[in-house]
Chain A
């Protein structure tokens, strides 16, 4: 099988590491060769954070370049727009509609572009936009929007549900498991 590429993007602190861990677990359990590439350190402090997940018979490069991603999963609208060029023709763009002002917008040096959702829809990609933050709050905490989005992704793909449930059990502390399972289901239903 040809290597597939998925990018998980968001703002530092939004929980992209857990999302990529869940996905990595599912793919490994499916028997694929998997690579997950993360960014640690300075950029985690409220900056743009990008995680690459690649899988197939044999994966070499851990990074994804422009025009290579089969799917981009974004926790924030501006980050979805920023990573649009990485998407392959006909790729899936899954994004939360949450907007977080970056510092240049906060200081007034730049403006947050208006109606990004509409512009992304017009860009000719397969867009799924969900209010992941509200769904996460419905599940019990705003922090679970990462798992909501993985639920959306799960609904678009056909990996067995059992693998996702196992991955949740392995990656989430028992105390937060029920809440995250609920967030995952809400994401699946939201697609």
Chain B
């Protein structure tokens, strides 16, 4: 029976049907649901790893041991896992290994817009790219076969639109391949120079074989239209926009295998048309390949650019000169940026940092929203874990001038991912830095995933929980304290004391995410309109439940969870 499935759920179904036995991933939008969905199948062992490098190494280990394996991550996660990726290309696999990397064209939930195809090219690992949910499932199954036939990990590249669109998928039964035999083979699996040199030769030969495969693979498909005025070469989500915008006006070469790319197939297709447009999001990788193989009647990036998503309207306008009419109000419509939720435990802590005018080295998570008005507390956000390491560099560069007024903020999951190595650096290199761990007992932004500090694993079963206080002390930090971010005075005092200290310290701001099911909410607070003087002190918290109506504060009872920081903030006692 056909079912509507998210691209990510269809991907997981592909893992199931292909007999994948081992899954290890780190969450990251838009890749997260692949692993969450895979974990629902009892036949698959699935886990959250502390970061993408660990996940990929675990998946490679499982593959070498003889089980079909998978690891999934977002585009920036592949940077973290680049180290094992480039050498896994040399070792190859035993049982098939598939890697999902989800790019975020348009940066719906990311800090950059990198094109992961560069990693596939640089590591010489084949990369497939589906265009809808059905292809997600089919390509994953084919990826395992390619992996085993060519002795290589295979990357399946997703994008926000493919990962988070539902389309119909036919679910089939699971094929259960037996565990492959493991035999010791240091020439293949011990990558020291003598052995790696031989494997590099193998990698180059493999690439040639993969190019030959790409020429005839069903992954690459030509759709000829008799009415075509020109040709289009495209991939991934862009294929859908091309078909919708151009219909029969163009013949299409759809590349489902984006690394390595075919040569003759492209040359023959391009020779049929005077004009060929390459329509690909982000980098001009297909277009450059065309020019490299002597196909010069192509145009792409000069028309469509390198930034953001492409869509059917852009293609229709640029290639056909067709623009749709639309109505709009003359009214200025205020933006609605994302905000910290009502009752978010991060709010109180950020309010204190903002009030104390502290310089804040930030990190990746819901708390990145502390950079937005009215809190505007965050100075920098770079990548996972960078808050702590960058704070260290900042303080070493500016010395005592910054040591007493600069902090790092990092979530519990991000701290486990790659923050703790930065803290080791602080302790080891004797840095007078103050680190605040925002422990909300969950991986929040990606939609509530367990992590090594929460005491539960991906399947929801009890697991060992890292004790953050003990870990920080073991690393060598002597000043470690815990505060409750719902108590503003306590937070403020702790921040002042630790900034004043002449050694490194860690403040753990601990309170579970207000959206967690087990968190009990207090009754909503109310503003006594007779007492409220309209001073707007409560508005400085940036709580979405509080607004000003007719000069007085009002609390929206449907949003308020009774955290009480506005009550503490209101000096005249108008909030009850």
Of the candidates B167, B168, B328, B332, the one whose C-beta lies within 8 Å of that of A62 is B167
The A-contacting residues of B in range 215-240, CB under 8 angstroms, are 237, 240
With a cutoff of 8 Å between Cβ atoms, the chain A residues found around residue B166 in the complex are 24, 34-38
Does B474 sit at the interface, judged by CB under 8 A? no
Determine the distance from Cα of A173 to Cα of B556 in the docked complex, in whole angstroms.
Answer: 27
**What chain B residues lie within 8 Å of A125 (beta carbons)?**
327
Q: Which residues of A contact B518 (CB under 8 A)?
A: none
Q: Which of A35, A106, A111 is most buried by chain B, counting CB atoms within 10 A of its CB?
A: A106
Total contacts A-B at CB 8 Å? 193
When the two chains form their complex, are residues A106 and B542 in contact, meaning their CB atoms are under 8 A apart? yes
Known: A62-B161, A62-B240, A63-B161. A36 touches B544 (CB 8 A): no
Can you name the residue of chain A whose Cβ is closest to the Cβ of B246? Answer: A60
Q: Is B372 an interface residue (CB 8 A)?
A: yes
Residue among A36, A78, A81, A101 with the most chain B CB within 10 A? A101
Residue of B nearest to A28 (CB): B4
Query: Is the Cβ of B336 less than 8 Å from the Cβ of A87?
Result: no
**A38-B166 Cα distance, complex, nearest whole Å:** 8
Q: How far is the CA of A45 from the CA of B514 in the complex (A)?
A: 12
Instruction: Kindly provide the distance from the CB of B180 to the nearest chain A CB, expressed in whole angstroms.
Output: 36
**Pick the contact of B4 from A34, A44, A109, A124 — CB < 8 Å?**
A34
Pick from B30, B311, B332, B369: contact of A63, CB below 8 A: B311
Q: Point out the residues of chain B lying under 8 angstroms from A160, CB to CB.
A: none
Report which of B325, B329, B373, B542 forms a contact with A120, defined as CB distance below 8 A. B329
Q: Which residues of A contact B542 (CB under 8 A)?
A: 103, 106-107
Contact among A42, A87, A101 with B326 in the assembled complex (CB-CB below 8 Å): A87
B546 partner, pick from A106, A108, A112, beta carbons under 8 A: A106
Query: Which residue of B is nearest A61, CB measured?
Result: B244
Contacting residues, chain A, for B240 (C-beta < 8 A): 60-62
Question: Which of A12, A48, A107, A112: most chain B CB closer than 10 A?
Answer: A107
B336, A109: Cβ atoms closer than 8 Å: no
Q: Provide the residues of chain A in CB contact with B327, threshold 8 Å.
A: 84-85, 87, 89, 123-125
Of B324, B544, B558, the contact of A103 (CB 8 Å cutoff) = B544
Bound together, the chains give a CA A116 to CA B553 distance in angstroms of 23
Name the A residues within 8 Å of B311 (CB-CB): 61, 63, 65
Inter-subunit contact B338/A46 (CB<8 Å): yes
Known: A60-B244, A67-B326. A113 touches B338 (CB 8 A): no
Smallest CB gap from A114: residue in B: B331
Q: Is the CB of A78 within 8 A of B539?
A: no
**Chain A stretch 42-64: residues in CB contact (< 8 A) with chain B:** 42-48, 59-63
Interface string of A12-52 (1 = CB under 8 A from B): 11000000000011001000011111111111111110000
Q: Known contacts A60-B244, A84-B328, A106-B539: does B546 contact A38 (CB below 8 Å)?
A: no
- The complex places the Cα of A62 from the Cα of B243 at a distance, in Å, of 12
Which residues, 519 to 552 on B, are CB-close (under 8 Å) to A? Answer: 536, 539, 542, 544, 546-548
Contacting residue for B109 out of A24, A25, A42, CB 8 A: A42
A65-B311, A102-B334 known; A107+B109 contact, CB < 8 A:
no
A contact set with B: CB distance below 8 Å? 3, 11-13, 24-25, 28, 33-48, 59-63, 65-68, 78-79, 81-82, 84-87, 89, 100-113, 116, 119-120, 123-125, 142
Can you name 9 A-B residue pairings with CB atoms under 8 Å? A24-B166, A28-B2, A63-B241, A82-B336, A85-B326, A105-B334, A106-B547, A107-B539, A111-B334
Nearest 3 A/B pairs, CB to CB = A41-B109, A67-B324, A41-B29
Task: Please give 8 more A-B residue pairs, beta carbons under 8 A apart, in addition to A37-B165, A45-B445.
Answer: A24-B166, A40-B30, A46-B338, A47-B339, A63-B161, A82-B333, A108-B548, A113-B334
